Structure 1
Amino acid sequence: MIFASDLDRTLIYSSKFFDVTKPEMPVRSVERYKGKEISFMTEKAISLLRELSEQMMFIPVTTRTVEQYKRISIFQEEIQPKYAITCNGGVILENGQADPFWQEYVETKIKQHTISLEEVKRKITETADAVWLESIRVVDHFFIYLIIKPEFAPAEVMSEYAEWAAERGWVFSLQGRKVYFIPSFINKWDAVQYLSEKEGKDIVFTAGDSYLDICLIEKSGCGLIPRHGEAAAKHGHLGLTKASGILAAEEIIEAVLSKRLETASKLY
């Protein structure tokens, strides 16, 4: 069995997702950046995830770059997954090293795709307004994301981008201050499915909060969306947590552990 889960706002959280004044909910920093603690998990969630990773294969799945993923100390020191999927499925790490077969597959897809990353970037630079656009960032050569001021970004422009991207085989996702443009063949589920087949594990549990995680939830057939997540508004029928914020991580992991036992009892 596999538990493939998104990280940010699903398993790990910034401080705005919990009340630091509540002593009954001890939390631990799991990521530091430029000397500052920026991501956290509850001690209970860490304990549950450690238990889960001993009973089944845990695969972190994230839009983060490899470098950003490796900042998460808990996955480098305490809980060390064999695999991690980064760059929204663009890179698969096995014991910290890129899987060469997956890399070749993705590179081939990029070369065959009709609309290049450069063309998407040009569309953005020609139409975006400095009033709401702060920066354009390219993740390796896989996809583009924007840092924006959402309060100033016109809804009609975002809708136009979404339509434009879809017509060209790209996925558009607005997540707070970040706007993603990603080729449809670079997605989280295809990478998870590749590892599922490689490891011979056909039962996959999933979790994720954003539009980019919907493929994980839908195609695994057994997933959860945190109640606070972007994906909850339109895809809540796929399965929502009762808890919001950092406590959703505990609920997700507990649910997967329960499902593992339930599934195992049916198999054996």
Structure 2
Amino acid sequence: MIFASDLDRTLIYSSKFLEGAEPDRPIRNVEIYKGKEISFMTEKAIRLLKELSQQMMFVPVTTRTVEQYRRVSLFQTEICPKYAITCNGGVILENGQIDRHWQEYVQTKINQSKTSLEEVKKRVVETADAVWLESIRTVDPFFIYLIIKPELAPAEVLNEYARWAAGQGWEFSHQGRKVYFIPSFINKWDAVQYIAEKEGKKPVLTAGDSYLDVCLIEKSGCGLIPRHGEAAADYGHLGLTETSGIAAAEEIVEAALLKKLEAAL
């Protein structure tokens, strides 16, 4: 059995999103960047995740780059997954090393794509306004994302980006200050499925908060979306936590452990 889960705002939380962190729910820092503690988990969630990783295969699945994923110290020292999926499915790490077979597959898809990363970036440059666009960042060769001022970004512009991206075979996701444009063939589920087939493990349990995680929840048929998540409004019927904020991580891991127990009976 595999538990494949998104990280940010699903299992780990920045200080900005520590709702649910009551005094009787101790938290621990799991990521330091430029000398600052930036990501946290509850002690209970860490303990449960350690227990889970001993009972089944735990696969972190994130839109973070490899470098950003490696900053999460918990997964480098205490819980060391055999596999990790980064760059939204663009890169698979096996025992810390890039899976070259998967990399070649993704690169072939990129080469065959009708719309290039450069074309998407050009579209944004030509239509965005510096009033709300702070920067355009490239996760080469996989996707781009924008850093925006969400309170100033016109909804009609973002909606138009979403329609245009869909017409190009790209996924669009607006998550707070970040706006993602990602080719549809670079997705979290395909990477999870590749690992499941490689390891001969099924079923797959999943969790994730954003629209980029919906493919995980839909295609696994057994997943949870945190109640606070971006995807909760439109896809909560697929599986929704009772709790919100950092407490949702505990509920998600407990649910996965329960599924494992039920499967054993």
For residues 86-235 of structure 1, the aligned pairs below 5 Å read 86-235=86-235
Deviation at 1:202, TM superposition (A): 1.8
Aligned to 1:238: 238
How many angstroms apart in 1 are the aligned matches of 2:37 and 2:161? 34
Aligned to 1:2: 2
Which portions of structure 1, spanning 4 or more consecutive aligned residues, are displaced by more than 2 angstroms? 16-23
Aligned to 2:81: 81
**SS at 2:118's partner residue?**
helix
How many angstroms apart in 2 are the aligned matches of 1:113 and 1:102? 17
Which residue identity lines up with residue 45 of structure 2 in the other structure?
A
TM-score (norm: length of structure 2): 0.99
Contact 2:19 2:245 in 1 (8 A): no
How many angstroms apart in 2 are the aligned matches of 1:81 and 1:62? 13
Which residue identity lines up with residue 49 of structure 1 in the other structure?
L
Question: Alignment RMSD, CA only?
Answer: 1.0
For residues 50-69 of structure 1, the aligned pairs below 5 Å read 50-69=50-69
Judged with a 3 Å threshold, the aligned counterparts in structure 2 of structure 1 residues 155 and 43 are, in CA distance, closer, same or farther, namely: same
TM-score (norm: length of structure 1): 0.97
Unaligned runs of 5+ in 1: none
**SS at 1:136's partner residue?**
strand
Q: Does 1:32 align with 2:32?
A: yes
**SS at 1:39's partner residue?**
strand
Deviation at 1:165, TM superposition (A): 0.5
Judged with a 3 Å threshold, the aligned counterparts in structure 2 of structure 1 residues 19 and 218 are, in CA distance, closer, same or farther, namely: closer
Unaligned runs of 5+ in 2: none
Q: Percent identity?
A: 78
